[in-house]
Amino acid sequence: MEFFDDKVESLTGYKADDFYSKRLKWSDLIVEEDLETVREDFVEALKADKSYVREYRTKTRAGDILWIQDRGQIICNDVGEVDYVSGAFFDITDRKMAEEALRQSERELRLLSTQLLAVQEQERGRIARELHDGIGQSLSAIKFRVEDALGQMGKNLAESSVNSLNSLIPVIQSTVEEVRRITMDLRPATLDDLGILATIAWFCREFQETYANVKIEKEIGIAETDIPESLKTVIFRVVQEALNNVAKHSGAESVTIFLTKRDDTIELTIEDNGRGFDLEEALDIDVSKRGFGLGSMKERTELSGGSFSLESVRREGTTVMASWPG
C-alpha cells in the first residue's frame, strides 16, 4: 500500500512505513465485525463497474475507533486480474457521531411520545370513570328523586309547580345522556370490558344514529384473540378519528371499514366515497392550521410499530390504511 501524503499517521497513529514494510495491512485496522461487509463490497464492485464507496470502523494505534469512508476504483489488467486499487480514505467519525446522536434523540422522542399517549389514555380512562361514577350517577339519582317526589305529592302540589318539576326531568335526562356520550368518547368501557371488535361495532352504531345519511359497512376478518392488547386502543383511535373526519369534512354517503389479518399482518382500512382532497395541498398547510387528525393517526400507528398511509383524490374519496406485524 502506498500513500500520497503523511495524513495516515495523524489519522491512525501508524507510520506509512508500517504499511510499506508489510508489517501491517490496512485490513488489520478494520474492526472485525465490519470485515465481512468490507470484503463483500469489494467483490460486488468487481462484478459491477469496479468502483465502490465503503463505510466501516477502524482501530487507531491508541485504541480509538474511527469511522472511515473508503472510495476506491479497482484497476484490472488485460486478463481481468486485479492490478491495483486507487482510492482515498475520509475520516467521517464526526458525521457518524452526529448521526448516532440524532438517532438517539429520535428514539428518546419516540419513547416520550409513546409514554405521553399512554398517560393520555390513562387520564382519559380516569376522567371517564369519574364522570360515570360521580356526575353520571348523581344526575341519575336526582332524576329518580324528582320523579319520586312528584309521585308522592300528587294532587297536593299546584299544577304550576308540577309542570315546573316535570320540565326538569327531560333536562336531567338529556344531561345524563351527554355525560354518557362524553364518557364513551373519552374511553369506551366496551374497549376494556368486551374488546376492540365489540367497540368498533358500538361506535359505528352510535355514529350512524348521529349521521343517519352515512352508511357504514364493516368487513371483519380477524378474531379478537389475534389482536394484541397494545394495539386495541390504537385501532379504535384510528377508526374514531377517520370517522370523525368523514363527518366533518368528506360529505361521504358510504364508509367501509376493513379489519383483517393477512400473512401475519394486521390490516386496517377505512374507505369513504366523499369529496376527497389534494394530499399535497393538505400537507402544505401550516401544521398549526392542519389540525391533529391526520398527524394523530399516523403518530399512533407508527409509535405502535405499524405503518400508515393515506390516499385521497378529489371527488373520488379517501382511503386510510394502517398495518402492524401480527
In this predicted structure, what is the pLDDT of residue 112?
Answer: 79
Tell me the C-alpha to C-alpha distance, in Å, between residue 306 and each of 97, 192, 196, 234.
Answer: 28, 22, 17, 10
**Domain boundaries in the chain?**
7-91, 98-187, 190-326
Measure the CA–CA gap between 200 and 303, rounded to whole angstroms. 21
Question: With contact defined as beta carbons under 8 Å apart, do 196 and 235 qualify?
Answer: yes
Mean pLDDT (whole number) for 306-316 = 89
Measure the CA–CA gap between 314 and 249, rounded to whole angstroms. 12
Q: Which CATH superfamily is domain 190-326 in?
A: Histidine kinase-like ATPase, C-terminal domain (3.30.565.10)
Q: Which CATH superfamily is domain 7-91 in?
A: PAS domain (3.30.450.20)
Question: With contact defined as beta carbons under 8 Å apart, do 42 and 35 qualify?
Answer: no
Mean pLDDT, all residues of the chain = 84
Measure the CA–CA gap between 112 and 188, rounded to whole angstroms. 25
Query: How many C-beta atoms lie closer than 10 Å to residue 235's C-beta?
Result: 25
Mean pLDDT (whole number) for 56-64 = 94
Residue 248's beta-bridge partner residues?
none
Cβ contacts of 144 within 8 Å, gap of 6 or more = none
Please say if the pLDDT value at position 286 is more than 60: no
AA identity, residue 133: D
Please say if the pLDDT value at position 219 is more than 50: yes
Strands 307-313 and 82-91: unpaired
- Tell me the per-residue pLDDT of 114-172, one tens digit each, with 9 for 90 and over: 787 778 777 877 777 777 667 767 777 777 777 777 776 665 666 666 677 777 788 87
Question: With contact defined as beta carbons under 8 Å apart, do 131 and 183 qualify?
Answer: yes
AA identity, residue 248: K
Question: Model's pTM, two decimal places?
Answer: 0.58
In this predicted structure, what is the pLDDT of residue 116?
Answer: 77
